[in-house]
Structure 1
Amino acid sequence: MNGRVDTVGNSMQKKTPPKSRSFHRFYDINGWSFVLPAVILIALFLLYPIAESLWMSLHSGRGVVTKFVGLRNVERLFNDPVFLKALSNTFIFLIVQVPIMILLSLILSSCLNQPNLKFRGFFRLAIFLPCVTSLVAYSILFKSMFALDGVINSTLLWLGIIESAIPWMTDPFWAKVMIIIAITWRWTGYNMIFYLSAMQNIDKSIYEAAKIEGVSPVRQFFFITVPLLKPTILFTSIMSTIGTLQVFDEVMNMTQGGPANETLTLSLYIYNLSFKFVPNFGYAATVSYVIVFFAAILAILQFKIAKDK
């Protein structure tokens, strides 16, 4: 009897049309009960703020006292010298710092991937440790290190590399250099971990074959390691680009955009527009979408250059 019931049940399942099964699956209460909390949280804390900030960018004013101005905030961008300065400073940090950090991360990960290197765990931890350091704490530490009578100038004077103390905080060029050094010190270890994990997944027989053929370690690095790390390099390049476009903490805590806005970034300018100057949340939202625009454009360009889908 049970066998007949099972047979009848199986035959009924086989006769159920595919569209009916997909319909019932779409309205499956158990499935939606698992997904619904995540959907609500994403809509509440991600989709709604994006839509609200986009609508806010079409207004001018502060708080709830705003008026609709349409695209006038976009027109204001091109006539705002402070915005143009912040944009140029951000791109200087991006163009200089990201390639240096990527190359340095590749070199460090290649060195720390050597099996005969002693204290590998210690070196990996020491290089990665800045990533988990408090942003405010390390920014204040760098500010004291790069002061006129700080340890950096004292060391350079003692070694005879410079004849007088470098004005890191007051000179526009050296202030940018200080910010670049700080960002590189913090995020190099972060990218190094990605490269190190990817290198450990490369088949060792490839290097053994290259070694038998007499390929030097340098050529192995550029013609074997780097090509095989192409997806990881693409990922870290995009993430580093987005992170540099959003640089805020280092500049805020070390130079506050000075001297004379020479280290002002887009993120710090958004903060100033919202809380420091006469508040204009609508214009600040417009500037924030400039970061979104350039992050998307640069990510697409990097995908195109890498020829990866």
Structure 2
Amino acid sequence: MSATVDEPTATKRPRGSMSPSQRRNLTGWAFLIPAAALIAIMSFWPMIQAFILSLQTGRGSNLDWAEPLWYNYQRLFQDEIFKLTLSNTFIYLIIQVPIMLILALVLANLLNNPNLRWKAFWRTAIFLPCAVSLVSYSLVFRTMFATDGFVNDALMWLHLIDSPINWLGQAGTARFVIILGLIWRWTGYNMVFYLAALQNIDASSVEAAKVDGATSWQTFWFVTVPQLKPMILLTAIMSTNGTLQLFDESFNLTRGGPAYQSMTMSHYLYEISFQRNPNVGYGSALSYVILILVAVLALIQMKVGDKRD
């Protein structure tokens, strides 16, 4: 007689119950949906409202649909003040961002030296400016570069100038003060990113370059910098976005003067939206132009900087 072996029967779930994988998915969605809803309500819905406003004209709350709907965007290209603030913003971007990132990279490389004494002190001292309030440091710079301020007194004491310079009353020098303030405040912030990346670089690659006879500069440029490209790309995108949205320095340091010569786009957006006769429709159109510039420049930087296959 042949013995029969019973096949194992699968455990059947009660009808309507969920499998473990379904429960895990449901748990994940339960945590995700509240955060996604808050982001949609607090970020995306205001963006939609701003776009709708950009298609309207009027003063205050008395708004009507523009004719044509793209009138506010068309008006931007005819606005000489907007063109001036756009050029000012790109001047800050082109001059300040490269200087700041190069200086931050050099400082991070110097402070990563294991033989450097008082490393904690130097790192803290260079990083500390970015912990200072934007308004506070802007007012300090405004006082220092006043006609009777510390900078003029020091330059006259050193016999470098014969009379005080009106730093904040001339277009070129006012822009210079803003650029100097940005470099002073944000260099240490970017330095921390580079310092963290440097400490994650494999020391064997640097030692191999030295064994092969590479100088310190060659080791830094051909070995260290290529391994920092992802971090350099990140800081470049963040710095570009921050500069395109620059407001505090323009508002607190120079008040946008003289005659809009140092005003940024975000400062102009604030002025036309909340000062004088508020025009929120035109301001919304300007805000979307800033958004498009930020997105386009970030995309270009990612395409140029990211060489991964």
Question: Counterpart amino acid of 1:51?
Answer: I
Q: Which residue of 2 aligns with 1:248?
A: 247
Q: What are the ranges of 5 or more consecutive residues in structure 1 without an aligned counterpart?
A: 14-19
Q: Which residue of 2 aligns with 1:44?
A: 41
Output the CA distance in 1 between the equivalents of 2:164 and 2:217: 38
Q: Which residue of 1 aligns with 2:201?
A: 202
Q: Which residue of 1 aligns with 2:51?
A: 54
Output the CA distance in 2 between the equivalents of 1:54 and 1:268: 19
Output the CA distance in 1 between the equivalents of 2:150 and 2:205: 46
Output the CA distance in 1 between the equivalents of 2:103 and 2:228: 15
Flag the 1:26–1:48 CA change in 2: closer, same or farther, 3 A: farther
Question: Counterpart amino acid of 2:143?
Answer: S
Output the CA distance in 2 between the equivalents of 1:139 and 1:7: 76
Q: Which residue of 1 aligns with 2:10?
A: 8
Identity %: 48
| TM-score (norm. length: structure 2) | 0.90
Output the CA distance in 1 between the equivalents of 2:64 and 2:132: 42
Q: Which residue of 2 aligns with 1:17?
A: none
Displacement after TM superposition at 1:214 (Å): 1.9
Output the CA distance in 2 between the equivalents of 1:258 and 1:83: 14
Flag the 1:159–1:60 CA change in 2: closer, same or farther, 3 A: same
Displacement after TM superposition at 1:159 (Å): 2.6
Report matched runs for 1:1-309 at 5 Å: 8-9=10-11, 12=12, 24=22, 28=26, 30-69=27-66, 70-308=69-307
Displacement after TM superposition at 1:23 (Å): 10
Output the CA distance in 1 between the equivalents of 2:287 and 2:173: 27
Output the CA distance in 2 between the equivalents of 1:212 and 1:31: 51
Residue 63 of structure 2 aligns to a residue whose secondary structure is strand
Summarize deviations over 1:164-220 as a string: whole Å, max 9, x none. Answer: 322211111000000000011111111100000000001111111112222111111
Output the CA distance in 2 between the equivalents of 1:26 and 1:179: 52
Displacement after TM superposition at 1:263 (Å): 0.5
Summarize deviations over 1:51-77 as a string: whole Å, max 9, x none. Answer: 111111111124432111110001100
Q: Is the 8 A contact 2:206 2:224 kept in 1?
A: no
CA RMSD of aligned residues (A): 2.2
Question: Counterpart amino acid of 1:207?
Answer: V
Question: Counterpart amino acid of 1:87?
Answer: L
Output the CA distance in 1 between the equivalents of 2:158 and 2:73: 51
Flag the 1:63–1:35 CA change in 2: closer, same or farther, 3 A: farther
Displacement after TM superposition at 1:130 (Å): 1.1
Question: Counterpart amino acid of 2:292?
Answer: F
Residue 197 of structure 1 aligns to a residue whose secondary structure is helix
Q: How many residues align?
A: 297
Output the CA distance in 2 between the equivalents of 1:32 and 1:297: 32
| TM-score (norm. length: structure 1) | 0.90
Q: What are the ranges of 5 or more consecutive residues in structure 2 without an aligned counterpart?
A: 1-5
